[in-house]
Amino acid sequence: MVYRQNFGRAALGRGRRRRGGGFRWQIMVLFAIGAAVYYFANQKEVPFTGRNQLRTMTVDQELQLGLQSYQQILADNRQNLVTSGPVVDAVRQIGERIARAAAPEDPGFEWAFNVIDSEQVNAFALPGGYTAVYTGLIPVAQNEDGLAVVMGHEVAHALAHHGAERMAQQNMQRIVGTGVAMGAGGMDYGAQRAVMGVFGGISQYGYALPFSRSHESEADYIGLILMSRACYDPREAPKLWERMGAAGGAAPPEFQSTHPSPQTRINDFNEWMPEAVAIYNQNCPKQISLN
């Protein structure tokens, strides 16, 4: 009887150990290999910068996705859509000039430029080139050159296929996350939560946020080149971000943000300025200097 009780306790102990086992690295390795294959099999080159990016969508798919989202946004803002006036004229003229400047790298996007009446100090360009500017941006932009800084940046996001890249990167994160979850499946509940918490923190602060900031910096650079080609004064870019910084108020530390800080952007623009001024002087009748 004692033997049976001891044997039962021993078996129970083994069961508990199995339920509270360690991380199953073999599963994680398989998913990591799958993520690596997915990554290296879908590499494309970003125009202007030559950076390799993960991208699985075709241009036609981007156009379809962007158009659907754009039509929905315009429908949701039907009452606030501005269809005529000096702001609309300026936005469309700037957009068309920047789109023409992007022609050598344009994969065949259907450029559209609209204005939405809103206090948001913002603009966007969806995959496929579908672009809108919020009227709240106009006072901060102050002039056509300032507006061209922002619109060039948004057009650059579309040209660099950042939306498609972000979706592909999220797919890869899901593959790795599934591997982590399954690898931790044999651990007790508390250990599983700890592992997934660590993975979430690394994924957010070590991958997703830096990835987003790199997109913003890349769009800043490409946008600066585009506005210079289109004969808008690139020297307005750091001035705009001084105004944006003043208008933005308190912000989280840069490592917690999806965007670089205004001062980082100002520093970057100043670093790129000699190239931008040279492009402007090569393409435009009026010559400018770095001063």
Sign of CA dihedral 158, 162, 164, 167: negative
Residues sharing a CB contact under 8 Å with residue 281, sequence separation 6 or more, in sequence order? 287, 288
Rounded Cα distance, 258 and 229, in Å: 28
Residue-level pLDDT at 1: 47
Residue-level pLDDT at 251: 57
Question: Domain limits of the chain?
Answer: 30-283
Residue 96 carries which side chain, given as an amino acid letter?
A: E
| 148, 121 Cβ separation under 8 angstroms | no
Residues sharing a CB contact under 8 Å with residue 40, sequence separation 6 or more, in sequence order? none
Residue-level pLDDT at 41: 92
Residue-level pLDDT at 116: 97
Residues sharing a CB contact under 8 Å with residue 175, sequence separation 6 or more, in sequence order? 31, 34, 35, 38
Rounded Cα distance, 110 and 64, in Å: 10
Residue 236 is a catalytic residue: no
Rounded Cα distance, 200 and 270, in Å: 35
Q: Single out the catalytic residue among 62, 96, 110, 154.
A: 154
Residue-level pLDDT at 253: 60
Angle at 9 between CA 6 and CA 12, to 5 degrees: 150
Only one residue has tokens 């579908």, namely 130
What is the chain's pLDDT, residue by residue, as a tens digit (291 residues)?
444 455 455 444 444 444 556 888 888 888 888 888 888 999 999 999 999 999 999 999 999 999 999 999 999 999 999 999 999 999 999 999 999 999 999 999 999 999 999 999 999 999 999 999 999 999 999 999 999 999 999 999 999 999 999 999 888 888 888 887 887 777 877 877 877 777 677 666 565 666 788 999 999 999 999 999 999 999 999 999 999 988 875 555 655 566 789 999 999 999 999 999 999 999 999 999 987
Residue-level pLDDT at 134: 97
Residue-level pLDDT at 18: 44
Residue-level pLDDT at 190: 80
Residue-level pLDDT at 256: 56
Tokens standing for residue 232 = 């808008």
